[in-house]
């Protein structure tokens, strides 16, 4: 148990650093490589298109970062409980948290009592519950869109700069191993290999965030949490799915 908790605490510290590093790298690549190469700005007719691309990228990026900050700023902890509860030796939950009463969980990583705990997000370093669920879902949506948008621009940059064709569907599957082999043979530059690697990073993060988003929206609509699903608890919500979504996302103007 101690070894597993140590691994979870290490992951809880490394994951946010990984997210910020990927964000900074994406920002630098977009403005220093993708934008000048794909949209050189020689023709005045491209200025409108370039402006739209910049605005779209900044919109997605700042919304992702904004919801990330809001997820951390509004934790799901219970403000009325300051005492750390003692975990029962017969606790059936996983090592990172255990169930108390009335939908409350004690997270051993946060060391706080969480209201309607869904799961512990390592990328934000805190638990996702009733207070920050909507920010977490919006964070997943905008992060997924930002990564997939960066993926498209990365493919366009490699096509323009290195004449790599992606017409064959198998190109993307074999691009990384072939580029790695060519790098060690000295026929591919380190920058090209790094950009190819970033394509897979963007694809991976984008698909994971999209999957998280779909899962969380489905659970919210059912009035259920991931903790309840893991414990095998079937929740028969008396509220319609629209009301369950309103409880998390609020109404227009709220």
Residues designated as active site = 121
Q: CA dist 237 to 175, 197, 241, Å?
A: 47, 44, 9
Burial class (CB in 10 A: 0-12, 13-18, 19+), 43: exposed
Q: What residue ranges in the chain does DSSP mark as E strands?
A: 97-99, 104-107, 112-115, 119-121, 126-128
164: left (phi over 0), alpha (psi -120 to 50) or beta: beta
Contacts of 1 (CB under 8 A, 6+ apart): 95
Quote the CA–CA distance of 16 and 197 in Å, as a whole number: 20
Q: What are phi and psi of 109, to 5 degrees?
A: -80, -45
Say how many residues make up the chain.
254
Burial class (CB in 10 A: 0-12, 13-18, 19+), 46: middle
Quote the CA–CA distance of 77 and 127 in Å, as a whole number: 8
Q: How far apart are the first and last CA of the chain?
A: 43
3-state secondary structure of 129: coil
Which of these, 161, 152, 124, lies nearest to 140 by C-alpha position?
A: 124
């Amino acid at each position: 148990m101690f070894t597993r908790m140590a691994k979870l605490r290490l992951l809880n510290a490394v994951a946010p650093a990984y997210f910020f590093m990927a964000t900074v790298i994406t920002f630098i690549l977009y403005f220093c490589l993708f934008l000048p190469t794909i949209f050189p700005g020689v023709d005045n007719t491209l200025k409108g298109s370039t402006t739209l691309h910049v605005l779209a990228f900044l919109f997605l990026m700042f919304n992702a970062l904004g919801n990330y900050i809001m997820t951390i700023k509004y934790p799901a902890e219970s403000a009325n409980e300051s005492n750390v509860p003692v975990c029962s030796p017969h606790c059936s939950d996983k090592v990172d948290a255990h169930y108390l009463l009335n939908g409350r969980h004690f997270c051993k990583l946060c060391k706080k009592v969480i209201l309607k705990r869904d799961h512990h997000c390592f990328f934000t370093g805190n638990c996702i519950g009733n207070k920050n669920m909507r920010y977490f879902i919006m964070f997943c949506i905008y992060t997924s869109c930002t990564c997939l948008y960066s993926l498209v621009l990365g493919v366009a940059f490699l096509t323009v700069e290195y004449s790599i064709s992606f017409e064959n569907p198998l190109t993307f599957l074999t691009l990384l191993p072939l580029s790695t082999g060519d790098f060690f043979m000295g026929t591919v530059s380190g920058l090209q290999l790094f950009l190819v690697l970033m394509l897979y990073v963007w694809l991976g993060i984008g698909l994971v965030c999209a999957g998280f988003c779909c899962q969380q929206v489905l659970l919210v609509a059912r009035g259920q949490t991931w903790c309840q699903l893991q414990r095998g608890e079937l929740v028969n919500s008396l509220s319609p799915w629209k009301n369950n979504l309103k409880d998390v996302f609020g109404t227009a103007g709220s």
